[in-house]
Amino acid sequence: MIIATSSLELIRADGTKLYIEIEPVTYQEEGKYVYTGVYQLQATRHNDPAGEYTEDNPGDTTEIGSFAHKQDDKYEWAYIGDFLDEEEQSQIADHIQRLEDTDADTASFYVQAFYHGGMNSFEVKAQEGSYTVAYDGNVIAELQHNEKWEQVNGDPLEEDVFVSIKHAIEAKFE
């Protein structure tokens, strides 16, 4: 199962798109993160971050409910909220199930960090001995951990981004 924030471009019934952040709810037990089977859902402005508030452009970040499934049956799920219709819920279920079906050790995962004036997602993928970081589909950095974390390729990441990604990697792999 995946224990990392993920994002999805949701296509609404009227054809508009909404950017959804899907964050697993976890707790720590004996120094390890334990997955609860629940995901918090947030909508972020998709095409027009400075635009007027509308249902399709709900603000910088808006809580839109929770998505949960039984840990022993990921195909049995429930949406707790009133923002998404059945088809939109189905898109989220499909997205989460695809992520959970991927081998967690070789899959990329997503990290949220404050970047370019708002919360953004970065895709992190483990390579042999390093981690590539992509933003908006383009690899922007490569990180390695020898005696300490360091960026070995790309333009220097902002400190908040570097720290957020470093912590997410440590939580996932170490």
Alpha carbons within 13 angstroms on the beta-carbon side of residue 56 total 10
10-residue mean pLDDT series, the chain (174 residues) = 70 81 81 77 66 60 83 77 91 80 61 83 82 87 88 91 89 69
Statement: the pTM of the whole predicted model exceeds 0.75:
no
* Inside any domain, residue 87: yes
Q: Same domain for 65 and 138?
A: no
pLDDT at 103 (0 to 100) = 45
121 and 8 Cβ atoms separated by less than 8 Å: no
Q: Same domain for 85 and 139?
A: no
Q: Same domain for 19 and 63?
A: yes
Query: In whole angstroms, what is the distance from residue 113 CA to residue 162 CA?
Result: 9
Distances in whole angstroms, Cα of residue 53 to Cα of each of 14, 18, 21, 119 = 17, 13, 18, 17
Query: In whole angstroms, what is the distance from residue 19 CA to residue 23 CA?
Result: 13
Q: Same domain for 93 and 32?
A: yes
Closest among 174, 144, 137, 136 to 162, alpha carbons compared: 144
66-81 confidence digits (pLDDT tens): 988 766 676 788 899 9
Range of the domain at 162: 109-173
Residue 18: which residues within 8 A CB-CB, separation 6 or more? Answer: 9, 10, 12, 43, 46, 56, 58
Q: How do 73-80 and 109-115 pair as beta strands? A: unpaired
- Final residue belonging to a domain, choices 44, 74, 101: 101
Q: Same domain for 133 and 68?
A: no
Closest among 117, 108, 92 to 23, alpha carbons compared: 92
Q: Same domain for 77 and 14?
A: yes
Q: Same domain for 141 and 91?
A: no
* Inside any domain, residue 133: yes
pLDDT at 107 (0 to 100) = 59
Total domains, the chain: 2
pLDDT at 133 (0 to 100) = 92
* Inside any domain, residue 143: yes
> By three-state DSSP, how is residue 169 classified?
helix
* Inside any domain, residue 1: no
Q: Same domain for 96 and 119?
A: no
Q: Same domain for 140 and 61?
A: no
